[in-house]
Structure 1
Amino acid sequence: MAHAPQIKVPATYMRGGTSKGVFFRLHELPPAAQVPGPARDRLFQRVIGSPDPYDAQIDGMGGATSSTSKCVILSKSTQPGHDVDYLYGQVSIDKDFVDWSGNCGNLSTAAGAFAIHSGFIPAERLAADGMCTVRIWQANIRKTILAHVPVRGGQVQETGDFELDGVTFPAAEIVLEFLDPSDEGEDGGALFPTGNLVDALEVPGLGTIPATMITAGIPTVFVKAADIGCTGTELREAINGDTAALRHFEALRVAGALRMGLIKTPEEAATRQHTPKIAFVAPPADYTASSGKTIAAQDVDLLVRALSMGKLHHAMMGTAAVAVGTAAAIPGTLVNLAAGGGARESVRFGHPSGTLRVGAAAEQRDGQWVVTKAIMSRSARILMEGWVRVPADGLGSARD
């Protein structure tokens, strides 16, 4: 039986923040994959190694975690005043779909650096050593992100002494600004889709749970750790090895998605795993991070743990960090109360890998809370570049 040979597609493998992904330039994709649809999804699934019933992604570039099962497309921006359009796909590890419903805040960092690496930024803007501001249009959620990328000698400066908990080695600091980061959605929703800072959420198997539901950065449902039998000091193993706990978290996510208007029926949640995120918060406490480092209660304002694609994240998703910072800035939310209450412009929170500081500017307009921007620091670097190869068998029109 004859089999088609592998095809090769220009690609760059990058770390951004505490995530990794395969980056593509839109014009270098096979023609059928240059537009949204099944051909693009099949290509990206094969690149990453999904769907994989073994949950290992051995036959692909993925790392069998939500943080490493990602693809990105960059292109010259179609939006006035922007440099690049950035489209993000979260590839399910074991199920047959790619979720395009949200952004990856960590890979937003790498998107800024990749824009420079790829020649999307005019050379005259890179002539002087210092900082180059890349204006990114985040196409999934239709928002603007400013990536302040250090440059030297006309190139991205990747090495440096900036340390990020959850990343082993230091690198150069990239500052991200998420402008007007509330996800307004197709129906023109608000920062708080229900209109409330705290709602009573009916969750099968858990009962009535107080929840703060917010759309800043990415739609997120916040609950108190104590209300779901947690402490807020948990590491990945404590949650991801507990099938009953994961079922309860998924029930909570479905209930939140329904209340936020993200889905109309519970069944729709199966094809929208990337959003909303679920996070639980607690007041400061001492704990040992996954690296073995001791995190002291006095070093943080609160504790936050978040789930991505059905599993507890090893650190913190960048978009969820935006949600944390925004909710912390608004008095009365569960996040704000866990941090001690009152007005604040920034917050440092403890996560499984260590700590993270994020700032947010929120204000009331006509009685409604709005967030104008959120700021945090990450780092990014190229891990490998060249071509990714995928078997043409089974790709159908994606190979054309």
Structure 2
Amino acid sequence: MKYPPQIKIPATYMRGGTSKGVFFKLDDLPSEAQSPGSQRDAILLRVIGSPDPYGKHTDGMGGATSSTSKTVILSKSTKPGHDVDYLFGQVSIDKPFIDWSGNCGNLTAAVGAFAIEQGLVAADRIPDHGSCTVRIWQANIGKTILAQVPITDGQVQEAGDFELDGVTFPAAEVAVTFADPADGALFPTGNTVDTLTVPEHLLAGGRLQATLINAGIPTVFIRAEDLGYDGTELQEAINGDAKALERFEQLRAYGALKMGLINELSEAANRGHTPKIAIVAGPKSYAASSGKVIDSEQIDLNVRALSMGKLHHAMMGTAAVAIAVAAAIPGTLVNAATQGRADNGVRFGHPSGTLKVGAEVVEEEGLWQARTVTMSRSARVLMEGKVRVPVA
């Protein structure tokens, strides 16, 4: 029996923040994958190596974690005042499914560099030295993001001395600003704290307080102590506990239902990327996954967030946006956890270390609004060429 040769698709493998993904220009994709739908998803699933019942992504470009099973499609922007349209796909590891419902804040840091190098940014906007402000239209959520990409001799500068906890080597700093990061109402229920009614087997008493916020990415914040944690846990403490992961997933579904993101609890399984669920606690000292000691005096609070059903090794960029906005607003569980220490931005502890994020929020006519959120990340090209995909 004859088999056709693999197709070859131009692609770039990039790190952005604490994530990695396969980047494509829209017009480099096969014609059938240039529009949303099952054919696009099938090709991208095969690129990553999903679904993989072994959970290894041995036969694909994925890294078998939520941080490394990602795809990005970029094109010259059709939105006035923007340079590039950015579409993100979170690829499930063990299911034939790509979640297009949200953004990846970490990979956003790599979008600007890719756009410049691929000719998606007008040449007259790129200085010889300094930084280029790449105006990104985030197509998943319909929001503007600005990336300050360092430039040397007219080329993207990737090397530098900026250190980011969760990334082994230093690189050039990329400042990323999320404009108007709320998708609709900042608090979908109108409350800074809600009470979720959940089954007794998930929580004694069946009532759980949560802050449900829609900034950067829809996020469900819960006090760590309410679930029996102290907020300094590392990955193995939660990811090695199947019952704990199942409880988090069920609580996430109840949060999604309360936020109006789903109509039935069962629908949460088909949008694993959103909402995120996170636990918050006051500033406590701990040893990060690298062994680095994080002193309580260095941070305003501790946050541990789950992504695609597992505790994240550091922090999702979009969840960091949610943390910064919630920390700046009195009455939220996140703000309460800071114990009044987050006046000028917030520095929080995560499993790999710390991250500082600044948010500008205002209260108008009794409603809170998020104007901007800014953080620093780094990014670089890991490999470029053509990815090969077997013909189905």
| TM-score normalised by the chain length of structure 1 | 0.96
- Rounded to whole Å, the distance in 2 between the matches of 1:218 and 1:106 is 12
Name the counterpart of 2:268.
269
**1:166: Cα distance to partner?**
0.1
Give yes or no for contact 1:123–1:154 (8 Å, CA) kept in 2. no
- Rounded to whole Å, the distance in 1 between the matches of 2:4 and 2:268 is 36
Give yes or no for contact 2:128–2:155 (8 Å, CA) kept in 1. no
Name the counterpart of 1:192.
187
**1:345: Cα distance to partner?**
3.8
Name the counterpart of 1:56.
56
**1:294: Cα distance to partner?**
0.4
| Matching residue's letter, 1:238 | A
- Rounded to whole Å, the distance in 2 between the matches of 1:9 and 1:387 is 5
| Matching residue's letter, 1:106 | N
Name the counterpart of 1:398.
none
- Rounded to whole Å, the distance in 2 between the matches of 1:203 and 1:153 is 58
- Rounded to whole Å, the distance in 2 between the matches of 1:160 and 1:247 is 41
- Rounded to whole Å, the distance in 1 between the matches of 2:344 and 2:284 is 22
Q: How many positions carry a matched residue from both structures?
A: 388
Give yes or no for contact 1:331–1:342 (8 Å, CA) kept in 2. no
- Rounded to whole Å, the distance in 1 between the matches of 2:40 and 2:349 is 37
Unaligned runs of 5+ in 2: none
**1:106-121 pair list within 5 angstroms:** 106-121=106-121
Give yes or no for contact 1:314–1:352 (8 Å, CA) kept in 2. yes
Name the counterpart of 1:391.
390
Judged with a 3 Å threshold, the aligned counterparts in structure 2 of structure 1 residues 385 and 255 are, in CA distance, closer, same or farther, namely same
Give yes or no for contact 2:10–2:28 (8 Å, CA) kept in 1. yes
Instruction: State the secondary structure of the residue aligned to 1:119.
Output: coil
**1:89-168 pair list within 5 angstroms:** 89-168=89-168
Name the counterpart of 1:347.
346
**1:386: Cα distance to partner?**
0.4
Instruction: State the secondary structure of the residue aligned to 1:219.
Output: strand
Give yes or no for contact 1:109–1:379 (8 Å, CA) kept in 2. yes
Instruction: State the secondary structure of the residue aligned to 1:215.
Output: strand
Unaligned runs of 5+ in 1: 185-189, 395-400
Name the counterpart of 2:216.
217
Q: Do residues 85 (structure 1) and 85 (structure 2) align?
A: yes
Give yes or no for contact 1:328–1:344 (8 Å, CA) kept in 2. no
- Rounded to whole Å, the distance in 1 between the matches of 2:90 and 2:23 is 12
Instruction: State the secondary structure of the residue aligned to 2:215.
Output: coil
- Rounded to whole Å, the distance in 1 between the matches of 2:151 and 2:190 is 43
1:321-359 deviation per Cα after TM superposition (whole angstroms, max 9, x unaligned): 000000000011000000013873400000000000000
| Matching residue's letter, 1:194 | T
Give yes or no for contact 1:358–1:375 (8 Å, CA) kept in 2. yes
**1:122: Cα distance to partner?**
1.9
**1:266: Cα distance to partner?**
1.1
- Rounded to whole Å, the distance in 2 between the matches of 1:117 and 1:231 is 44
- Rounded to whole Å, the distance in 2 between the matches of 1:306 and 1:298 is 21
| Matching residue's letter, 1:249 | F
Name the counterpart of 2:308.
309
- Rounded to whole Å, the distance in 2 between the matches of 1:343 and 1:58 is 43
Instruction: State the secondary structure of the residue aligned to 2:11.
Output: strand
Give yes or no for contact 1:13–1:21 (8 Å, CA) kept in 2. yes
**1:47: Cα distance to partner?**
0.3
Name the counterpart of 2:318.
319
Match of 1:201 among 193, 196, 199: 196
**1:117: Cα distance to partner?**
1.1
Name the counterpart of 1:236.
235
Give yes or no for contact 1:161–1:171 (8 Å, CA) kept in 2. yes
- Rounded to whole Å, the distance in 2 between the matches of 1:263 and 1:150 is 41
- Rounded to whole Å, the distance in 2 between the matches of 1:121 and 1:6 is 31
118-127 or 148-157, larger mean C-alpha shift: 118-127
- Rounded to whole Å, the distance in 1 between the matches of 2:47 and 2:128 is 37
Residue identity over aligned pairs, in percent, reads 69
Name the counterpart of 2:358.
359
| Matching residue's letter, 2:241 | D
Name the counterpart of 1:378.
377
**1:286: Cα distance to partner?**
0.9
Instruction: State the secondary structure of the residue aligned to 1:79.
Output: coil
| Matching residue's letter, 1:382 | V
| TM-score normalised by the chain length of structure 2 | 0.98
